[in-house]
Amino acid sequence: MSLKGKIAVVTGSTSGIGLGIATALAKQGASIMLNGFGDADAIEKERSGLAATHGVDVAFDPADLSKADEVRRLISATEARFGRVDILVNNAGIQFVAPIEEFPAERWDAVMAINLSAVFHSTAAALPGMKARNFGRIINIASAHGLVASANKVAYVAAKHGVVGITKVTALETALTGITCNAICPGWVLTPLVQKQIDAIAAKDGISEPEARRKLLEEKQPSLDFATPDQIGELAVFLASDAAAQIRGASISIDGGWTAR
């Protein structure tokens, strides 16, 4: 599934799922625009490492995806740097947990801005170029929470349901073109942020790290195992390939059976 010569933007790609996706795309020959926050030296190490390991051009843009003009600038900056955007992966996201009546309005606004509005703005900015070339792959990283709900996650669940909706509308509006739009819906994925939750459970409950992992998983994920950023990256590669040309508007779960019950 070679993506040689393709240009990909992956938001929120300095760590975790986004970095896994960027790595998988680079492995197949795509040039990459990384985006996200973090230590500048660590980001440069990832950028240069991806470029050297896979022999592709890799750039970085620090666009703040909570700001509409920055999201759109990220797309135009990629077009200026690489000439076009072939693959857009909307991955960036944040979380906040609280009951609805206690949920801070500013946290609602922040989650909506990054998890939902940024998907709209990047898609709107990328589509004109994709339509002009009659080719594009838009891959939105939604969540199991784009399909089902959990208590105390009102903003995240609402935003991810919205991402699934944007995905369907984009697919319908591009149905007669060479552009596809699909969503990946992960369940629990073992990332540094999730590892922190595991460590917190272990410390709070006085249990071992493996016991804390199982406790986290058993409430939602029947497989009792995590998906990995690499697995999600490989799924993104497939959706970006010619083999997926007639997968349009789909929400593909990679959740260990979470949404099957």
Quick check: is 261 in a domain? no
Q: Is 178 exposed, middle or buried (0-12, 13-18, 19+ CB in 10 A)?
A: middle
Q: Is there a single domain that holds both residue 105 and residue 184?
A: yes
Give the Cβ contact number of residue 220 at 10 Å: 18
Q: For the chain, first and last CA: distance in Å?
A: 33
Question: What's residue 226's pLDDT?
Answer: 97
Find the catalytic residue in 54, 58, 114, 156: 156
- Indicate which CATH number applies to the domain containing 182: 3.40.50.720
Quick check: is 2 in a domain? no
Is residue 106 classed as helix, strand or coil in its secondary structure? helix
Quick check: is 1 in a domain? no
Question: What's residue 107's pLDDT?
Answer: 98
**Cβ within 8 Å of residue 17, ≥6 positions away:** 91, 141, 186, 189, 191, 229, 232
Question: What's residue 10's pLDDT?
Answer: 98
Respond yes or no: is residue 199 known to be catalytic.
Answer: no
Decide if 179 contacts 127 (C-beta within 8 A): yes
Find tokens 């022999």 and name the residue: 55
What values do phi and psi take at 25, rounded to 5? -65, -45
Domain that holds residue 201: 190-226
Quick check: is 139 in a domain? yes
Find tokens 């990283």 and name the residue: 141
CA distance 246 to 249: 10
Question: What's residue 158's pLDDT?
Answer: 98
Q: Is there a single domain that holds both residue 217 and residue 99?
A: no
Quick check: is 63 in a domain? yes
Decide if 235 contacts 243 (C-beta within 8 A): no
Q: Is there a single domain that holds both residue 252 and residue 202?
A: no
Is residue 115 classed as helix, strand or coil in its secondary structure? helix
Give the DSSP letter of residue 114: I
What values do phi and psi take at 139, rounded to 5? -125, 115
Number of domains in the chain: 2
Lookup: tokens for 197 = 């939750």
What's the pTM value of the predicted model, to 2 decimals?
A: 0.97
Question: What's residue 123's pLDDT?
Answer: 99
Q: What is the mean pLDDT of each run of 10 residues along the chain (261 residues)?
A: 95 97 98 97 98 98 98 98 98 96 98 98 98 98 98 97 98 98 97 90 96 96 97 98 98 98 92
Question: What's residue 193's pLDDT?
Answer: 81
Q: Is there a single domain that holds both residue 136 and residue 56?
A: yes
Q: Is there a single domain that holds both residue 124 and residue 216?
A: no
Question: What's residue 1's pLDDT?
Answer: 77
